[in-house]
Structure 1
């Protein structure tokens, strides 16, 4: 196979000049581990907190962000992530009806009052998780996807490892109190960042009120446990949490002025304090920072040309949107972006397989890395295609 590496250096002239810092999720994690907490005074009412910009993962504020604490129903961020992945992979569909087991219907705490043997669509069960924090709906979906709650929990913890998170362990998909069930503000923010790659999730988490079984005698009124969805402009998710041990927790996300942020607080004493801390964090983000988008998600950046491939000039696209973050009032200089394609690509390739990376660079420092993926399936060329291609080259 022909070996090559394709590098494109593009100087992007941005109107403002000097100083900003943008980091990858990996670099963010490293930064968060140092002992110095953010100097700005936020999240006074919470045991731990973090505020970050979604595209870059840049931490804007942190407080005890790696302290292991019970996440309560914020656990359902991982549950929803696995549901969204199952939908994307075609393992389940939104209109599929799920039969509720006796075990799922027995869940206490927050629930949508499912009955054993009842059938409800994946769409409505997901709505029950996202809006009403239904423990019964969470277990019903878990059992449908993995076969059992235990198998689903294994999937949850496997995903934790895939995301490189070191301070999270799940025992159930609900967040109900359990020994050895813990996470951190930082880890929850990374899970939220991953969940938000599935943009349709906010179609559910942004609902303030709705109904299940509408028009029947068992009609159930859903009211979002995240009141900021209604009372803070731009908030469209994600998940609240409360137990006696965890106290009041919230992972919130908002999008304003082209910038999406994620704010997590854990261990507040009241809902008012929880919401106040998140509100102040979001106010701080949008008053002090801004973003500049360099590439949209799935934007073509180069072409894949392999002699043995069955297709010519297949688009290589960004696996996620690419942005830079800067403080308002500061000025942005020129930014370099470097596109690198793997030297040893083996066929066949499936759509969205990773084939390289895009680096954002300033003054020789790599500020962020984004995966580059292939836009469509690429298979090995047939003997006829190889022969024709060789003849075409000879003619030239």
Structure 2
């Protein structure tokens, strides 16, 4: 019995010394993420805790819809847009490929329905329809997106060219002429800052991004959330505390996610861009969250966490 106590006490002492002197970040606990870039942002302090190529611009695909969501919610808050407003679907919006709700030209849907389509299912046609309704054209909406990016202090490396995040290749011949040409590009750091600003300014967005399904009643259509980290989705990638925000895929970049998770009042933003496989973006975000929530523990809690993980019992 005494021997077990001595072993436990010795192990605990070693852990305390290591944590006190070197801290987890220097102990090699920082996660190795298999992706083009990755960032972990602590919302309590605003600090970046992990930065892997975080300032390198990359095509973000549907992750760029975070800015579309931001502008919609800005206008809802200011009263210039209402959830019940009925939005017409244009011919251009109805032609959007990729993730879509198969909206038809001439149909009408509420702002709420289309916003849920963007936030939960990442629908490209819903994003374009809302952009056209709010600004008169997607091109004018893109100017609003970039103005908002500058007001949030995002870097010049982040530039929006459409409301959906679709690449020029994916848009093909239906792409309309715009004031801002080229490809939408974002850095992982800017993506994390945008996600944090969206949650800070419009916390109710998490009530939508955390839902597992949405429906369009008039169409009898049910679609599932594209974020498999949500606990309600079940499966291998479900993560305790995850509640948002946006996934994306681009044939040039690969798989992306801007994820949000909260435990015991502590919220983290994890961004993974350019992952090679569908699941590796979720796995990478989970590693970032694990690291962040461990780092956020007080030293005494860290000791207990490590001792429990090592299977040491008193």
| TM-score normalised to structure 1 length | 0.62
Gaps of 5+ in 2: 1-19, 21-25, 169-181, 232-237, 302-314
> CA contact under 8 A between 1:91 and 1:145: conserved in structure 2?
no
Partner of residue 162, structure 2: 172
Q: Distance in 1 between matches of 2:44 and 2:80?
A: 28
Matched, 1:238 2:245: yes
Residues 350-369 of structure 1: pairs in structure 2 closer than 5 A: none
Q: Distance in 1 between matches of 2:270 and 2:27?
A: 14
Superposition misfits of 4+ residues, deviation over 3 angstroms: 37-41, 327-330
Describe the shift of the 1:161–1:277 C-alpha distance in structure 2 as closer, same or farther (beyond 3 A).
same
Larger helix proportion of the pair: 2
Partner of residue 225, structure 2: 224
Matched, 1:209 2:239: no
Tell me how far 1:43 sits from its aligned partner: 4.2
Tell me how far 1:284 sits from its aligned partner: 1.1
Gaps of 5+ in 1: 1-18, 20-36, 291-326, 331-396
1:338-373 deviation per Cα after TM superposition (whole angstroms, max 9, x unaligned)? xxxxxxxxxxxxxxxxxxxxxxxxxxxxxxxxxxxx
| TM-score normalised to structure 2 length | 0.78
Tell me how far 1:155 sits from its aligned partner: 0.4
> CA contact under 8 A between 1:38 and 1:62: conserved in structure 2?
no
Equivalent of 1:70 in 25, 43, 59:
59
1:73-99 deviation per Cα after TM superposition (whole angstroms, max 9, x unaligned)? 001000000010010011111111111
Tell me how far 1:328 sits from its aligned partner: 3.7
Q: Distance in 1 between matches of 2:259 and 2:299?
A: 23
Matched, 1:283 2:284: no
Describe the shift of the 1:54–1:154 C-alpha distance in structure 2 as closer, same or farther (beyond 3 A).
same
Partner of residue 185, structure 1: 188
Describe the shift of the 1:89–1:43 C-alpha distance in structure 2 as closer, same or farther (beyond 3 A).
farther
1:185-206 deviation per Cα after TM superposition (whole angstroms, max 9, x unaligned)? 0000011011102011011100
1:305-337 deviation per Cα after TM superposition (whole angstroms, max 9, x unaligned)? xxxxxxxxxxxxxxxxxxxxxx5449xxxxxxx
What number of residue pairs does the alignment pair up? 257
Partner of residue 310, structure 2: none
Matched, 1:260 2:249: no
Tell me how far 1:55 sits from its aligned partner: 3.2
Tell me how far 1:45 sits from its aligned partner: 1.1
Tell me how far 1:222 sits from its aligned partner: 1.4
Q: Distance in 1 between matches of 2:245 and 2:164?
A: 15
Larger strand proportion of the pair: 1
